[in-house]
Amino acid sequence: MSFDLSARLAERRAAHLYRQRPLLESPQQPEMLVDGLRLLAFCSNDYLGLASHPEVIAAMQQGAATWGVGGGASHLVIGHSTPHHQLEEALAEFTGRPRALLFSTGYMANLAAVTALVGQGDTVLEDRLNHASLLDAGLLSGARFSRYLHNDAESLAKRLEKASGNTLVVTDGVFSMDGDLADLPAICATAKQRGAWVMVDDAHGFGPLGATGGGIVEQFGLGMDDVPVLVGTLGKAFGTAGAFVAGSEELIETLIQFARPYIYTTSQPPAVACATLKSLELLRSEGWRREHLNRLVARFREGATHIGLTLIDSPTPIQPVLVGSSERALRLSALLRERGILVGAIRPPTVPAGSARLRITFTAAHSDAQLERLLEALAECWALLPKESDDA
């Protein structure tokens, strides 16, 4: 007996679900060289335009010159360097929490937090539309795992009634494929009534949301009593790489002692931490980036509605255009690419069947003129797109 991998791949191709990696041949910026073509891109999560910022680049270069290019070992052996420590202190101060802990990726941070906090005999309840890393963490924790209806506090309450042991309620802050916000006030109030903890992965909220870019918790005026476990990633609005968990002294020490993805992984390069310290400084001091993003989003929603596109209620830089079938989504993406616009088609299983979409994302580096070019191309391509019933 052998693995029939070719049949699996052929099946995926036939269903218009085959994925291919675009080859980026230039830095992260609005105009990119992709697969040899110069394209205007609206698919990066570099929301504040910091990934190619000269000061962030210089900080990383200086960090590499001072600290070398490798972490060397896990944090608990000899890989926890001064830049890592300084960044953890800065992120704790930024989030208004006693401690923060660095991770190499957001996937690892989520896996670490959930599996270190709950296990056999406990309960983990998650939003149905949570990121794959959160869902995987719930499944791998060994705890009783259940998913409540999207953003539905009543559905959560029903599941909390059946919970046993320590109970962790887990939600994205901004849902990455829809761009909508978690109803945190209702989710936190419901969890608190049952003595459950809330964990929020605010990967897409830090930077764009909140008065100072502090994310969804700041936006809703919530504190550590409401959200004891706060996760953020550094590869999106921060423009660098890695992730962090922020919370109480006891939470962070618990993760250091029991979180296997933290204990058994080499630390990120110290130079990345140096770069992130600079990007955090820019995130906090240059509020115009968030203001410009908000203007771009408002103008896009106005223009897209005029074209007749179907949008989701999203106040964030993530602006999905619902298309329907995977085939139509791929066709619309291809039509845009022919006109020099790069937007990715998101298909099942990332999103539910029948809800394939273009996931348009904006950054503070996009200009007003580039946005108008996108709207013009969308209007032209939407008119050329076959209706759902016309698809073969």
> Does 19 carry a binding-site annotation?
yes
Same domain for 292 and 260, yes or no, is no
> Does 204 carry a binding-site annotation?
yes
Same domain for 186 and 307, yes or no, is no
What is this structure's pTM?
A: 0.94
Domain boundary among 241, 268, 295: 268
Same domain for 338 and 298, yes or no, is yes
> Does 233 carry a binding-site annotation?
yes
What local confidence, expressed as pLDDT, does residue 256 receive?
98
246 within a domain of the structure (yes/no): yes
Query: In the structure, what pLDDT confidence band is assigned to residue 392 with cuts at 50, 70 and 90?
Result: very low
Same domain for 333 and 237, yes or no, is no
Regarding beta strands 356-361 and 318-324, do their DSSP bridges make them parallel or antiparallel, or are they unpaired? antiparallel
Domain boundary among 211, 238, 268: 268
- Separate counts of helices (H) and strands (E) for the chain: 14, 14
Q: Please identify every residue annotated as catalytic.
A: 176, 204, 236
List beta partners, residue 176.
none
154-180: pLDDT as tens digits: 999 999 999 999 999 999 999 999 999
φ, ψ of residue 358 to 5 degrees: the values are -95, 130
Domain boundary among 203, 237, 268: 268
285 close to 345: Cβ distance less than 8 angstroms: no
Same domain for 112 and 256, yes or no, is yes
43 is in which domain, residue-wise?
Answer: 16-52+285-384
Residues 6+ apart with CB under 8 A from 22: 34, 35, 342
> Does 47 carry a binding-site annotation?
no
Same domain for 264 and 340, yes or no, is no
> Does 18 carry a binding-site annotation?
no
In the chain, the number of structural domains is: 2
CATH number at residue 112: 3.40.640.10
30-79: pLDDT as tens digits: 999 999 999 999 999 999 999 999 999 999 999 999 999 999 999 999 99
* Residue 103 to residue 245: CA distance in whole angstroms: 8
273-320: pLDDT as tens digits: 999 999 999 999 999 999 999 999 999 999 999 999 999 999 999 999
> Does 107 carry a binding-site annotation?
yes
77-118: pLDDT as tens digits: 999 999 999 999 999 999 999 999 999 999 999 999 999 999
SS3 annotation, 95-147: HCCCEEEEECCHHHHHHHHHHHHCCCCCEEEEECCCCHHHHHHHHHCCCEEEE
Q: Return the number of other C-beta atoms located less than 10 Å from residue 157's C-beta.
A: 16
Q: Return the number of other C-beta atoms located less than 10 Å from residue 131's C-beta.
A: 22
64 within a domain of the structure (yes/no): no
φ, ψ of residue 29 to 5 degrees: the values are -165, 165
* Residue 25 to residue 377: CA distance in whole angstroms: 24
